Each structure stands twice: as C-alpha cells, then as structure tokens.
C-alpha cells in the first residue's frame, strides 16, 4: 500500500498543466455504447477510475486501444468501438468499485433495448440512490424491474419512445443517463430542471458531434429529438475544473503563485469568486489562470450548491485552506450528508473545526503541524495533501488510492512547483 509523504512549509511557484476532467471522462466513455463506429477521446486523464470504467466497457463488448504518450506529457488518446454489445449486464463486482458505472444503463438500454446493472451500493460520502435515473428512464418508455440487487431495464418495442421528465432535485448522474438514453429514442424528450454542470455540456457537445439533436445545451431545459443512429467521432475531454481549483488552493495555503495552464474560467466561476474573496489574486490569460496569494487569507462563508453554485467537490480543499485564514469561516454542505470525514484528520494536524450537522465552523489557526493522516474519499484526501503542504514538519497521507482516482500524477505536478513530496511504498 502506497502513501504520500510531504515535508511542508515550501512556497509553491510555477506552472501546473490541468489534466482532462475525471467527471467528464466517466460520462463520455459510455457514449461508445451508442454507436458501432469508432469513438476517440483525447486528453483522457490517466486515472484509476478511467481504467476501471474501460475494463467494464471491455466486459460489455467495447474494444479499447490507447495510443502511446511521450514522457512528460499528460492525458491519453483512447479509441473505443462497440461493433456489437456482447453483454448487457454490468455485474456487481465492477459497479461496486465505482458508482459512475451506473452510467452504462442509459446508453446500453438505448442501443440494445435492454440493460441490467447492479445497484451501486453504499458510498463513503453518503447515500446516493439512483431513483431519479430510473424515473427518468421510465418517462422515456423503459420498463424497470428491481431484483436481487440489480436493475433490469427494457424497452418494450426494442427502442425507447422519449417523453418529458422534470427532476424534483438537480441530479448530474440522472441527467447524464437520461440524455444518453434519449438520443436514440423514437420521439422527442424534454428534461426539465436538468443539471447544468460543465461536464453535462461536454457530454451534450460530444453527442451532437456524434449526430444527436439536442437543444438548450447549458440550460436546465434540454430538448432531445431522437435519431436512428449515431456516428463515431474524435473529441477532446474538457479540462478538470476541480483539479484546477485544488491547485489554486495549494497556491493559497502555501502563500504561493501557481499558473493553471489549460484551466477555463467559465467552468469555475464560483470557485474563482471564493478564491478572490479569500484574498487571492487572479490573472486571466489565453493559456489559463494564474493564482497568487500575496496577503493573509481571509475567512469565507460558503454553501455548496449545484452548478453554477459552489461545487461540493471543492468543499474539503477550501476547508483545509481556510484552516489558516485570519478569522472564522462558515461552510455548509447541502449536497451530501456525510462529507466532513476529513475533519478529524485535519484536527490531528492542528486545525480548529466545529461540526454542527451539515455546517462547519473553521476557526483560523496560526499554523498546522505535520502528522500521519488517513484519506477517506477522493476530495478529502486532497484536503490532507493541501494541509501537509503548509504544515510544519512531515505529513504522511495513507490510503492514497483515493487520490489516484482523480488526480493525474499529483506528486509530479506538485514537485514541479516546489513541493517536497513523494510517493512511498508501505509494503
């Protein structure tokens, strides 16, 4: 088992290239199921989650090939092709490893007329049921059966018919599944109160490039007119707004200056607004965003919300940074009910944080101290790395397989801007 070792106290300065977005990649990959032609994705991040998803697609009959990457380059070029769908069953042993696996449900149903997917099971950051996915598919004409821990969906006439569905709450995953199912339906589908995240826009843009007909892209009202079939294409995965925000927090917590090459301001306005209110300087240029911390950090009041609000995936990183702010910060987590599991670990490093239900008060302290800490989920693990970068002494972050799910070559990128950080094998 590997761990990340950090000697804190270095001011970070330099350039960090932003990789392709994990959350977009896991949405674009299942689009290969919608056509028998080749789909090539470029700027695909090298992450454990991407590998897990491609293995699932292999089991379903999708061939995958990866082009070689030159040393020092980031991202991959993967070509996927589903001549035939060999299996319409996504088994538990694959789905349990990653909740995003449920995103094969919609495209497989649309292409093959049936799909059987294991229920995802529990999640470290709280209960995330898929009832909205199933309700949306039923409105498109699917028949749903739940049995023995599996969802079996079928289209009675071999194809979905399309229909209207209004999401009672915004759901990114359910919007994605419904979109991929609707593009091959026989009629028109309207999705109301649909998620508006940049990753949804990326999915829509890929589907349109494959021949889908979608109106309202970027809004909460999506109109999809089903087509007979989709074609293959080559498409570049969008840059990762959460990775960019995480490294921006690294600049903030170390009093540094980091140029985020490839970051797109429009995708992360709420994060940039919060950074500016915390006292960081932002410079926008044609290659990305430069984030600099030239003054003490200011406290913030933040509440997570669906896009364009402040992303829940940035909450833990901001909490780590605000642990060193001058004053008390208030954070409210509205998306997931169990997303403060990093708090006890930050406290081990000297952070002063009070939890009251879904609210947290972060009392800024003078310094953090290195310690051995344990990651509990992907973004929580990044918050511990950030704390370690600023802490006095040495920090060891255990369970770094969480980090490998969402941050491409983390140690290499941070080392390049002056961090003393390395991966160690614990046997």
Q: Is 217 annotated as a binding residue?
A: no
- The Cβ-side half-sphere exposure at 167, using a 13 Å CA radius, reads 26
Q: How far apart are CA 293 and CA 250, in angstroms?
A: 10
Please pick, among 31, 123, 139, 204, the residue that the annotation labels catalytic: 123
Q: Is 313 annotated as a binding residue?
A: yes
Q: Is 23 annotated as a binding residue?
A: yes
Q: Which residue's structure tokens are 């003054």?
A: 295
- 114: tokens are 């049936």
Q: Is 132 annotated as a binding residue?
A: yes
Q: Is 129 annotated as a binding residue?
A: yes
Q: How far apart are CA 278 and CA 102, in angstroms?
A: 37
139 labelled catalytic: no
Q: Is 225 annotated as a binding residue?
A: no
Q: Is 424 annotated as a binding residue?
A: no
Query: CA angle 408-249-399, nearest 5°?
Result: 45
Kindly report the three-state secondary structure assignment for every residue of 40-88: EEEEECCCHHHHHHHHHHHHCCCEEEECCCCCCCCCEEEEEECCCCCCC
List the beta strands (DSSP E) in 213-304: 213-215, 221-225, 233-236, 257-261, 281-285, 288-292, 301-303
Residues 6+ apart with CB under 8 A from 24: 198, 199, 202, 203, 237, 238, 240
Query: CA angle 409-315-377, nearest 5°?
Result: 55
Q: Is 131 annotated as a binding residue?
A: yes
Q: Is 339 annotated as a binding residue?
A: no
Q: Is 335 annotated as a binding residue?
A: yes
Residues with a catalytic annotation lie at 123
Binding-site residues for phosphoenolpyruvate sit at: 22-23
Binding-site residues for UDP-N-acetyl-alpha-D-glucosamine sit at: 99, 128-132, 313, 335
């Amino acid at each position: 088992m590997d761990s990340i070792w950090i000697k804190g106290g270095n001011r970070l300065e330099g350039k960090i290239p932003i990789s392709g977005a994990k959350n977009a990649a896991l949405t674009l990959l299942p689009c290969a199921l919608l056509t028998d032609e080749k789909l090539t994705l470029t700027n695909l991040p090298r992450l454990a989650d991407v590998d897990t998803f491609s293995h699932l697609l292999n089991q379903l009959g999708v061939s995958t090939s990866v082009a070689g990457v030159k040393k020092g380059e980031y991202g991959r070029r993967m070509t996927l092709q589903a001549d035939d769908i060999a299996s319409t069953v996504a088994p538990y042993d694959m789905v349990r490893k990653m909740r995003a696996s449920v995103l094969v449900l919609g495209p497989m149903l649309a292409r093959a007329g049936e799909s059987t997917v294991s229920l995802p099971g529990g999640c470290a950051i709280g209960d995330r049921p898929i009832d909205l996915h199933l309700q949306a598919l039923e409105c498109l004409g699917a028949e749903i059966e739940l049995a023995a821990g599996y969802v079996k969906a079928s289209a009675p006439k071999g194809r979905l018919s399309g229909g209207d569905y209004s999401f009672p709450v915004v759901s990114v995953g359910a919007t994605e599944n419904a979109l991929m199912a609707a593009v091959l339906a026989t009629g028109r589908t309207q999705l109301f109160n649909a998620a508006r995240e940049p990753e949804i826009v990326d999915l829509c843009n890929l589907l349109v490039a494959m021949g889908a007909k979608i109106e309202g892209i970027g809004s909460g009202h999506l109109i999809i007119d089903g087509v007979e079939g989709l074609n293959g294409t080559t498409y570049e995965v969008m840059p990762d707004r959460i990775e960019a925000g995480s490294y921006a927090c690294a600049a903030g917590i170390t009093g540094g200056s980091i140029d985020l090459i490839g970051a797109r301001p429009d995708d992360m306005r709420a994060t940039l607004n919060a950074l500016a209110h915390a006292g960081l300087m932002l410079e926008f240029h044609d290659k990305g965003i430069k984030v600099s911390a030239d003054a003490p950090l200011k406290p913030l009041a933040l509440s997570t919300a669906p896009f364009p609000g402040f992303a829940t995936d940035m909450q833990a990183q901001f909490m780590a940074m605000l642990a060193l702010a001058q004053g008390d910060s208030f954070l409210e987590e509205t998306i997931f009910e169990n997303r403060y599991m990093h708090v006890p670990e930050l406290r081990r490093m000297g952070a002063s944080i009070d939890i009251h239900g879904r609210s947290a008060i972060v009392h800024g302290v003078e310094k953090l101290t290195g310690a051995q800490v344990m990651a509990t989920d992907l973004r929580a693990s990044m918050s511990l790395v950030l704390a370690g970068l600023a802490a006095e002494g040495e920090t060891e972050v255990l369970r770094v397989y969480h980090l490998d799910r969402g941050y491409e070559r983390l140690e290499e990128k941070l080392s390049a801007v002056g961090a003393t950080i390395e991966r160690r094998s614990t046997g």
